[in-house]
Structure formats: structure tokens, C-alpha cells
Structure 1
Amino acid sequence: MTDLIQTTVADGVMIIRLNRAEKKNALNREMYHGMNKALEKASIDEVIRAVVFAGVPGTFSAGNDIKDFMTIAEGGALPSETRDFLHQLAAAPKPTIAAVDGLAIGIGTTLLMHCDLAYASPRSLFRTPFLDLGLTPEAASSLIAPRLMGDQRAFALLVLGDAFDAQAAREAGLVYQITDHPEAEAQAAAARLAQKPPEALRIARDLLKGTREDIRGRLGQELEIFAERLRSSEARAAFAAFLHR
């Protein structure tokens, strides 16, 4: 596993840690690949009963690496690593929990919409500045967010680009609990889940989540639109401004 994505397994819980602190955990192709492989392992390893996503102190993720976006804008294809991870995340057969401390931008926020639980520190900040970059929502967030938080809050987050502090995120249903120790709380919840009868856990979770066919369909639709938008003149201008600020 890449050093940018670190995994550990203990007591039935896999921790997937985003570990690119010098870039505020901006996700690149290598990191998407690492997370995808980790989720693949978790899905088939009977020892692993739950998964925790964590970052580094002060940062969960600053979103996608803009340099990777620029590569696509200049004629490259949308990386298969990104597509594979998002579909793997949406279909994850075991509980996924997020521990957020600090920045959760773009995919750092939309990833949480697929998690069964999310814990956040009081200093956490959630924002999806897609339109500011000439882009559109991703990770099936255009479908999940209105269901989760209602149309107006979803619009404020995904389109207006408003930042949600930890309290606003909790009120919107994006976060389950605000705590000074989000990773410890997330690991404790995962450990509790790991002790439950696995078949009953799977059935209960599937009942809550449903078939997820609509989510997979929206994922594909959004990815096509997102790839087109990455090559738009609006996006290229926004990326150039970001890199030269």
C-alpha cells in the first residue's frame, strides 16, 4: 500500500488513513488507487468487520489535487482510479465510518455521504466549491444530499458553495456527532460494530441503504458530466487561477 494511504487492521476494524499532510490530503490518482485497494480487501476479508476513514490532525481532505484536474483539462481521460474508488465506496458491503478533524473539502465532504457514521471535531469545516471551479457535484452527492439534508441545504452546500461548520454539518445530517476526539470515537463505534453478528449486521445495513442501484446510476451520470466540465473553458480558467494565486 502506498505511504500516502496507510492501512491498519486491529480488532476487526480497518483504518484507512489519508496521509499527505504537506498537501492537506489533496487526493491524487495514487491515493484513489490505494483507497480502492483497501476497500477491496475489506470487502472480502472476513476478519475485517468495519472500516474507518481518517486523515491527519487539522485535515481530513482538501479535495482532489488540482494538478490532476489540469491534466484532464488538457486532454487526459478521467482516471480509472477515481471511478473505481467511488463505485467501490458506494457498494461497500461493510460499515464505513469517517473521522474528520479540520478541512473536509470537495470529495472530503461528499465521501461522508456514503458513510454510515461520521464523527467530527469542533474545528471541522465542510465545503464543496465545485461551481467555483467550473465543475458540478460528484460522488452521487446530487442524489444523496437532498435526501440527507433537504433541497435547500443541499443547494447551499453543493451549488452556492456555502461552508458548513461542524454544528451546521450535524444539523444537516452529514455528521453524527461532534467530539474533541473524532478518531477515537469512530474507532470505538467501529469496534462495537465488529462485535455484532456479521450476517445480522449486513442485513440490517442493507435494509437501511436499499439496493443502491440509483446511487450507482447517478455516480455514472455525474462522472460523465464531471469529465466534460473538466475540459470546459470555465474549469481551465479556474484551475489556472488557483495554481497561480
Structure 2
Amino acid sequence: MTDHILIETPEDAPGVQIIRFNRPDKKNAITRAMYARMTEALQAANETASIRVNVFLGTEGCFSAGNDLADFLAFAMGGSMGNEVFDFLGALASSQKPVVSGVDGLAIGIGTTMHLHCDLTIASDRSVFRTPFVDLGLVPEAGSSLLAPRLMGNQRAFALLAAGETFTAAEAKDCGLIWKMTAPEAVEKETLALAAKLAAKPPEALKITRDLIRGPVEEILARIDEEARLFAARLKSAEARAAFEAFLSRSK
């Protein structure tokens, strides 16, 4: 459903495109159609001069619970994986415009790892970040196995990606996963104000500076591809299938 991702260009924040998760009844779990919609929005921003900054937002109390596990289970049982997830990751990693995110509450799986690609993230003080990849019989994605150790150091990256430890907003700020903490009711306002401030800067100078900071994207895209190959293989594993079935059984 395309209305599970809302694309907005607010009049009071010129130059800003909001990509908003809008599936609160499922904790903003991301389906293949939602990934495709987000990819389209990022690609459109690259080609639209009037869009200068992309902003990712969730709903009150939840950024995203990660990938919809029903999609993963369908693939594990012989269905098609599709390219939507990996197309989105490639579009996010190679975005030509700055990416800002605002997090309130749950940020699980890709709801955590996508912030590794964001230039600035504001999170509420009640936000929590967790990647239960190994618990689901899977491996990290989104280039996180490359980016997280660079950002956090090996031990905290291992705690996040392998041990599946939950990071509070304060811990996420301390290790550089987010830039700033604020109150839940201020997340969206402060995130959009920050994005509007970036959008008002000279765009060419901002792009060159951003490119220098981020460095070549080819290594990140190569790691995303490597992780994707291993991730797809793990989805077919007995470990993953058992973990998905147990999770869905508990959910019911």
C-alpha cells in the first residue's frame, strides 16, 4: 500500500522532502511496496533541483520495527525475494542529497541501520535501537558490517550487530549513531528545522562538502551486495525459518 509511505514537501520547509513511515498498526514494519516507494522518492530527489534534503520520519512512539517478517518468511518458504529491499539500500547509500532522520521510539533492524547512511539524526530520549539479525538466524545488512565498526569501534558494533544489544538514545548518541537527543514532542519540529537549515545553504558547496566527508560510495555498495548475498542464503536456512515461525506464532 503506497499510503504506508507518505511523501510530503511542506510549504514551511522549502527544499525538504519528507519520507514518512505510516503503518503504525504494524509498528511501521516495512513491506516490499514500501521499500519501492522510498526508492522512487530518493531517486526523484536526485533528479529534482528543488528538493535539497530528504527527511525520514516515523509515527509517534515508533520509527520502524524493521522489515515485515512475513515477507522474509514467504521467501524462506520458497517465494520470491524481489529486489525492492536492496534497491532501496543502494538508493539510500548513493543519495545525492543530504539525508536527515527523526526517530521517536522503536528503531529495529533496518530501522536502526539506515541511520548509518543519514547525515544527521535527531532522536527522542525514549528511542531504542536494536538489530536482532543473529537472533533471527540472519546477518547484518545495509552495509552496517562495514559502517558500524568505523563509526563505533569493533566492540560496540559487535554489541549492536551480533549480540543484538539494545542501545538507548543516550548510548546511540555516545557512539555517534545519532547526532542529538530531544524530547519526543520536539523530534519532528527540530528535525524539519534542521533539514530546512541545510536546504537553505548553497547546494553545490554542501554537496562537495558532503561527498568529501562520506568518501567514495563504491566500497559501501560492494559491502551491501555482499551482505545481500549472505542474507538471502541465510533466509533459506533452517535457523532463520524456525526463528520466523516462532516470532509469528508469538505475534498471533
TM-score (norm 2): 0.96
Consecutive unaligned residues of structure 1, counting only runs of 5 or more, are: none
* In 2: Cα distance, 1:230 partner to 1:182 partner: 35
The residue identity in structure 1 corresponding to 2:4 is L
* In 1: Cα distance, 2:200 partner to 2:65 partner: 33
| Correspondence list, 1:11-50, <5 A | 11-50=14-53
* In 2: Cα distance, 1:185 partner to 1:227 partner: 38
* In 2: Cα distance, 1:5 partner to 1:173 partner: 27
Residue deviations 1:152-183 (CA, integer Å, cap 9, x gap): 00000000000000000000100100011122
Moved more, 182-191 or 198-207: 182-191
Q: What is residue 114 of structure 2 aligned with on the other side?
A: 111
| Correspondence list, 1:83-232, <5 A | 83-180=86-183, 181-232=186-237
**Cα offset for 1:100?**
0.2
Instruction: Classify the secondary structure of the residue corresponding to 1:132.
Output: helix
Consecutive unaligned residues of structure 2, counting only runs of 5 or more, are: none
Instruction: Classify the secondary structure of the residue corresponding to 2:3.
Output: coil
Residue deviations 1:105-125 (CA, integer Å, cap 9, x gap): 000000000000000001100
* In 2: Cα distance, 1:86 partner to 1:234 partner: 25
* In 2: Cα distance, 1:160 partner to 1:105 partner: 14
Select 2:65's aligned residue among 49, 62, 66: 62
* In 2: Cα distance, 1:145 partner to 1:189 partner: 24
Tell me the percent identity.
Answer: 56
* In 2: Cα distance, 1:99 partner to 1:183 partner: 6
Calculate the aligned-residue CA RMSD, in Å.
0.9
**Cα offset for 1:235?**
0.1
The residue identity in structure 1 corresponding to 2:67 is N
**Cα offset for 1:77?**
3.2
